[in-house]
Amino acid sequence: MSTLSTVRAGLSVVNPFTNLVEPLITSVIGFAKSLRLAIEVSGEIDTANRLTSRGRALLNIRED
C-alpha cells in the first residue's frame, strides 16, 4: 500500500469525526463571544438602569 493510499484511508476515518466536532466547536466559540459581550455590557448600566454611551457603542446602538 502506498503512502498516499494510507493517508487517504486515514482521512476517510477522520473526516466524519471532523464534520461532527467542527460545528460544535464553532457553536461554543460563538456562545463564549456572546457571553463575553453580555458581561461587558452589564457593567455599562448606570444607576437609573440605562445603558451608558460605551454600552451603546458595544452593542452598535446609535444615540438618539
pTM tops 0.75: no
Phi-psi sector, 33: left (phi>0), alpha (psi -120 to 50), beta: alpha
- 47 CA to centre of own chain: 31
First to last CA, the chain: 70
CA atoms within 13 A on the CB side of 10: 7
Each residue of 35-61: pLDDT tens digit? 999 999 999 998 899 989 999 998 888
Each residue of 6-44: pLDDT tens digit? 777 766 666 666 777 788 889 999 999 999 999 999 999
